[in-house]
A and B are shown apart, each in its own frame.
Chain A
């Protein structure tokens, strides 16, 4: 049974991303059971819950990576759960950004090429893509590392590169799955400061999956997933 979301205070913008009663099973295991939630434009939403609760599955469904067995998911008023894989991949490439816990960077590419990769995939010219990527190097304290290979970076540096890659294409929604999970607390704080600043600057929404309350504290609002249900969702004051 899903819990109700907390009512917004003041004028709530139209939700950018809405999930209604979505269920998802992997064989006999039900990962989501009728979960519902919404995300407003420009909002930073933390998704918390114990390990195995279904929070990553929820993120994957919201991002169009998985198609739920039941329920509806809409982005900007358009159903995405009924799209085919090609259309959902295009959506993920053009409108969404992703930051994972580790291993997402292409080890043979340089830092600036990794950041520019999403732009190259959308057909941007190389010079323009590298130029836009270079703009993020300063903002994320990566100046001087342009030509380094990603295998030569520290964990914190690599995660900032991943963050820059997630933000460079100006996505409408940034999905971050345990972005600081493999970092020490100080480095994690630095990454989160940069993530929030970058998102606010671009006016983008963020769905942040984490089990760390300190990371969740960065969010405007937090929902808790337990046993496949969204059991609470409180608006966190900006």
Chain B
């Protein structure tokens, strides 16, 4: 029977071949998307592993700093190492520490990791000094740079070549002696530099430690005490993987399932004829399975072709914030076998299950078995998921949360969200049935009646066509709700104001190096003159921390003169007649006490004496500029050279961005979920619409013969997709907002701010895509239900 099935599949004429080709194409697209998703998950891990060497010197890595000053991991959030687009090359795996001559490291290495910034892009800076010929060598370079030398990543080398030295190059002492290889680069466009020093020069400096090896601990495997903001932590990785898997994999599987169901009704006529000549139902099942399996296998092979053809373009999408190397998007043997074997098996099983619904008799399709209607118990998983999240929020509300670890909290939240998503999928058919029965009972127009009855007849199939869109709606609503709220608490609007991007701050007393970096009470005259001579600089304000005055982040507020404050208006204002004021700002949030924007704040008078000010050390230097890139970067270079610190001078906007780096990560994840899942869901809907048309070709064409306008049939098709979508979209949106509220209460002790206009635009865009997909089937409807179609039937 298998051989017969193969013959039928291949020798069934143009229509049969066309049908198989259609299924194969649909499966190929779905498999390509599935492979891209699987490969992306591998790529995230591969990229994250190349951050490992940057954990060197941190106490949580396998290469902590030994004698000498240890690198602290308790500092405020460090800017993560970011990058911009560049050409890709296959990366080698990160190498363990080795010496320049290939021997084992026995000499120690002075090591310091710092962050720098250029035009909003982060630069990872590693200062090294060998203590002997066998000091460990970081990956990606052949040897350690000597004093006066540095290695730069290819992207940074190109940037240095085209940027005026005063804006960037002057920050890095020495000359470029080579580029860093891809084994040490998280992304093709990473900006990383390794600067060589003499040991005697580097050792006395702040934030420097001695290490005997280069770290191989990835950010995801570092539980505590590693570089903050470098790479992706284990919790964040789990979140990314879970969201990507749930938001993409399910819509893809729906798409593949719908593809394999195409033209099932047509095949049933052939099976009826075979039954007439004596084939048993079991033999029919085998033949049907062979046809479906062949189409799916062909599609699966095609899917691998689609994936490999799209791989270079896919690698360039920065959905973790950075693009991948093409080679990062790899598939393991297990993945290949799982997809190549699994997809045809799923197709075969789906075909056999579908045939069970139809009792194929020698006289044709004798009875179409109506599936049992979904029951109310289907809402239980949804209730369970929401209940879990509500309990977690309650625990946080009563203050019992501190006794649980972060990883447990993350696990509870994630499992609650995943259970809620599965609950939406389980409850969807039941909600669809309720809605459609209600509509059918009150329908006044023929199109509404036909559509509602069809949905009520098989709400599972109706919901399946829009399930992907419903999931995308839930994920996007949840994400936008969380992001909007966090953004509101951080006053996003302030950061976008011009002064925010034109004022640079160098924080001096927030350095983990502490007292090893004395700041003095005033700025050296040559530094002030260099700053003032930069075109575009409008003002300089120095703040001092006066012990015992006010209460701030470090137990005292900072004091600034009103004359200088007036030249840097982004920091606030003085009351009339005041000589000095005390400030207590939160630059990471950019607002004061959660209400006023920084620039509108009127600070209180400072009641101390000039003598007190003269004895106090500098806390912060603020420079107002015209906002041009050249002036900002030259100021950054001048301040960075005069006051070398672990963290570079940053504009107010950059401060806020770093303070909300987690928010940026959530936004990126939400974008991936929305912009990837919506098109996939749209394609699944298109297949479902096409399949529904094929199944009802005869009754529709005879209705047209009897005078039914084609517009009525169009309305039927549209309503059959729109009704389940709207019925379940309301539940998805409501659930998404509720989950967002529960997350905010449970994790951040905040209350949901309802999304703004952007969210509704996303909603409308999703609906527009759905309508566009449905509309694309209308020409097919008119053609396949015309008089000729009925006559040929």
Contact = CB atoms under 8 A, between A and B. Distances in A.
Given A106-B699, A108-B453, A90 B707 contact: yes
A56 interface: yes
Given A103-B699, A109-B450, A98 B705 contact: yes
Contacts of A185: none
Interface string A106-128: 11111001000110110001100
A152 B369 CA distance: 9
A92 B707 contact: yes
B449 A65 contact: no
Contact of A60 (B708, B709, B791): B791
13 contacts: A89-B707, A89-B708, A92-B706, A96-B706, A103-B698, A104-B702, A106-B450, A106-B699, A108-B450, A118-B706, A126-B443, A149-B370, A152-B367
A82 B699 CA distance: 27
A125 B444 contact: yes
B503 to A, nearest CB: 66
A98 B706 contact: yes
A99 B443 CA distance: 25
B375 interface: no
Which interface residue of A66, A89, A106, A151 has the most chain B CB atoms within 10 A?
A106
Contact of A103 (B454, B787, B791, B793): B793
Interface in B640-677: none
Which interface residue of A90, A94, A121 has the most chain B CB atoms within 10 A?
A121
Given A149-B457, A151-B367, A105 B446 contact: no
Interface in A54-93: 56, 60, 63, 65-66, 86, 89-93
B266 interface: no
Nearest to B452: A108
A66 B787 contact: yes
Given A63-B705, A106-B699, A121-B712, 9 more contacts: A89-B709, A100-B702, A103-B699, A105-B699, A108-B454, A109-B450, A117-B450, A121-B707, A126-B449
B360 to A, nearest CB: 14
Contacts of B453: 106, 108-110, 113
The B contact surface, by secondary structure, is helix
A80 B277 CA distance: 46
Contacts of A125: 444
Contacts of A94: 707
B699 A104 contact: yes
Nearest to B706: A98
Interface in B769-793: 787, 791, 793
B450 A96 contact: no
Interface of B: 367-368, 370, 443-446, 449-450, 453-454, 456-457, 698-699, 702-709, 712, 787, 791, 793
Nearest to B441: A126
A93 B370 contact: no
Contacts of A149: 370, 457
A93 B699 contact: no
A117 B446 contact: yes
Contacts of B707: 89-94, 96, 118, 121
A166 B449 CA distance: 19
A11 B702 CA distance: 37
B368 A151 contact: yes
Chain A interface size, under 10 / 10 to 19 / 20 to 34 / 35 or more: 20 to 34
A100 B706 CA distance: 10
Which interface residue of B446, B454, B457, B699 has the most chain A CB atoms within 10 A?
B446
A148 B707 CA distance: 25
A173 to B, nearest CB: 12
A56 B446 CA distance: 28
A125 to B, nearest CB: 7
A92 B446 contact: no
Contacts of A100: 702, 705
A213 B360 CA distance: 32
B661 to A, nearest CB: 53
A65 B702 CA distance: 11
Contacts of A93: 706-709
Which interface residue of A97, A104, A118 has the most chain B CB atoms within 10 A?
A104
A149 B373 CA distance: 14
A149 B371 CA distance: 13
Contacts of A113: 449, 453
B721 to A, nearest CB: 15
Contacts of B444: 120, 125-126
A108 B793 contact: no
A109 B708 CA distance: 16
Interface string A146-184: 000101100000000000000000000000000000000
A168 to B, nearest CB: 12
Contact of A121 (B446, B698, B793): B446
